Amino acid sequence: MKAKAAAAAAAMAVMLILPATAARAAGSDLTSIAAVPDADGTVTFADGEKWYQTDSFENGKEYVIGAEAGDGAEHFLCIGSADTRTPVWKYYRETMVNSRSKWYTSIYNGVYSLISWEGGLSTVFSRRSKAAEYWDYKDGALSYTYDGATEYLSWSGSGYGMTADKSAAAEVRIYTRGEQLGRCIAKQPEAESYVLAGSGYAAPEFSIELKDSEIIADEVVWYVDGEAQESGGMSFLAEQLADKPAGIHRVKCHIEGHDGKNNHYREDSAEALFIIANGVVPDSVLTFSDVHEQYRFIGEAIEEIFAETGGRVPSLVISTGDWVNGTAADRERMMRDHFPLMESYLGGLDTVYVAGNHDSSEAAAEMSIAAGLGADESVSDGCGVVYRGGTGAGTNSKAAKDIVVYGISCAAMDKYTEAGLQYSYDSVCRQLEDFLRQEAKDYHGELIIISAHAGLHTLGIQPESVNRSGARIGEWSGLSPYNIDGAYDMVSLINKYASEYGMDIMYLYGHNHSNGEVEFLLTRGDTIVSTRNYAEKDYGAQPLEFTYGQSGFLSTTIGAADAHYSFIYLDGDHIVYDLNRLSRPASKRHTEIPLRYEPPVTTTTVTAVSTSTQTTASSVTSTTKRSDNRNSPHTGDSRSMIPALAVAAIVMLFSRRRR
């Protein structure tokens, strides 16, 4: 459909009336204007606005697109009639889509999208294509791919067009404006670890790295808690953060630069948390899912726990998938663009990862293995132990000796049949049973957390499947990534080991935020409804022998998610499960779950017998019920920090639930 000039003019956010040579591309209301860029890679139009040459598109930003014509000028692509035309286009990458959706981007102006149509350049009312359709800018060429076929923007004396011959493509430059220009940071600043207040720790050092060695940094400014620092450079020693009392500080970097191709860069780094703590909450876990690129919420969740516990940090962080938006990211993109951002906001706390449907399970496994907290190569298959207390060289996680975490990434559920891809727990069940069988052989009362991106209940059938208003969500709501084949058998399997061996097991999931369902918690004795066969809509109910709840949907951009996270810890003879809504402490759901494993505890009474030459000790043993005096992490605890840490140390040495 052709774009009409009057309608286009009404929809344009920026209007430029410029003297130029107009050339109408065949079959569309597209024109061009000529302008001569400055030698430094900038171009200024008649309204005085300066645009900066850049090397790539960023979602949601405005661009002008120019082609070299050989006459010293560039011809900028416009839409509109001769007296009301604008060269300003916006780049859009669709992100609120299923993880298996085809890649879709657009370049549009007002309500009109730029497309290639019958070998020429044209416009169409903006729409979501069912085919893979995207624009890409690389090595000076602007390409358009539709359903697997790629064409390139071309220029001739009669105007813009499209060509399937890359050698005939126009030499294109793109320009942008605003607080952010091109991205240039490859390595984000991050803290190596948390530190203890009063421990005499060294001043922390932060650093960034640029994505290309040819980029010249023109300006580097570091900020601590929002205040600009005099010291600049790729590395920054934050001496002002030494010898501080307990607290959380934020460090970030602003950088501007250019390269030899006249591309301009301007970017703010992520905010790196530097945590000065009073200690660690023993056997505790911060867990969340579905961040969907709102990484700052991770730091805010840590800060809330820090404030609630009197300046202590959790023993472990479990991040359970869907860290990105849109079509599933591959390993390279995850490791390059997303994990560095998350690590900045984690403040150096020990973290393990379980992939969601939008993520690369290979990258998640690589991160968990690199953490050195108990994961091995077996997690590369999508299932496996990602954390085991008492192993590895962690920092805060050394305080979580009574916790084991088994991860189930979404990729582990993929089942390819003649009918195509399905989702099934069949393979997961086999791997999980191997794990539980081994744990049962030498079980000492550890809390076993099964951290899985997907859940076990049947949406729309489970009695708790209601929305925020209390109304039931649609029957059999969601697609097969929700109501998964074999979920009923998974519940039966976990029930068996929890019951027969007295194991304390929690199954924590994420993912279903987009179905409008409120967060709920099921504990031992509650009934869960789970799917046997998705295609046949076959499901069944059974009582639980374990705890079933949510990691928390730590995002606000998709579906019903409203920035929840979970804080779980062992406290005496029970598990505390707090589901917290970020920045809304009154909305906390606090649940205390009795521990089912109660082994006898051997206590030793030592009687000293003195002689003239030596003192010998005879031991009398007695068996009593376990009495575990873990500290409550709440700020209302009247004990001072030093005695509390001393008690915690004694508990971990002498009153462990291990034999």
Q: Is the pLDDT of residue 369 over 50?
A: yes
Rounded mean pLDDT, 380-400: 90
Asked if the structure places residue 659 within a domain, the reply is no
Residues 215 and 81 in one domain: no
Q: Hunting for tokens 């979404």 — which residue is that? A: 410
Residues 607 and 477 in one domain: no
Residues 502 and 520 in one domain: yes
Q: Is the pLDDT of residue 552 over 50?
A: yes
Residues 225 and 343 in one domain: no
State the first-to-last Cα distance of the chain, in angstroms, to the nearest integer.
75
Question: Residue 203: what residue type?
Answer: A
Tokens standing for residue 356: 């969601």
Residues 293 and 273 in one domain: no
pTM: 0.85
Instruction: Kindly report the length of the chain.
Output: 659
- Secondary structure E strands in 213-313: 216-224, 227-228, 235-237, 247-258, 264-268, 272-277, 279-280, 284-288, 312-313
DSSP category for residue 239: G
Q: Which of 176, 200, 215 is the last residue of a domain?
A: 176
The CATH code of the domain that includes 375 is: 3.60.21.10
Q: Hunting for tokens 């060289």 — which residue is that? A: 393
Label residue 411 exposed, middle or buried (CB < 10 Å: 0-12, 13-18, 19+). Answer: buried
Q: What is the pLDDT of residue 199?
A: 95
Q: Which of 148, 176, 204 is the last residue of a domain?
A: 176
Q: What is the pLDDT of residue 82?
A: 65
Cα–chain center distance at 369: 18
Residues 148 and 244 in one domain: no
Residues 368 and 484 in one domain: yes
Q: Over the chain, what is the mean pLDDT?
A: 84
Residues 123 and 199 in one domain: no
DSSP 46-88: TT--EEEEESS--TT-EEEEEEE-SSS-EEEEEES-TTS-B--
Q: What is the pLDDT of residue 1?
A: 37
Angle between helices 339-346 and 296-308 (to 10 degrees): 20
Residues 78 and 18 in one domain: yes
C-alpha 552/C-alpha 579 separation (Å) is: 7
In this predicted model, what pLDDT tens digit does every residue of 626-658 receive, in sequence order? 334 333 343 333 333 333 344 344 333 333 333
In this predicted model, what pLDDT tens digit does every residue of 182-195 receive, in sequence order? 999 999 999 999 99
Q: What is the pLDDT of residue 349?
A: 97
C-alpha 54/C-alpha 256 separation (Å) is: 12
**DSSP 3-state of 414:** strand
Residues 201 and 319 in one domain: no
CA distances from 583 to 295, 299, 319, 481, 554 (A): 15, 12, 19, 30, 12
C-alpha 117/C-alpha 121 separation (Å) is: 6
The CATH code of the domain that includes 248 is: 2.60.40
Q: Hunting for tokens 């975490």 — which residue is that? A: 405
Residues 310 and 261 in one domain: no
C-alpha 116/C-alpha 152 separation (Å) is: 9
In this predicted model, what pLDDT tens digit does every residue of 483-499 receive, in sequence order? 999 999 999 999 999 99
Q: Is the pLDDT of residue 68 over 50?
A: yes
Asked if the structure places residue 641 within a domain, the reply is yes
Q: Which of 570, 594, 618 is the last residue of a domain?
A: 594
User: Domain range spanning residue 647?
Assistant: 600-654
Domain count, the chain: 4
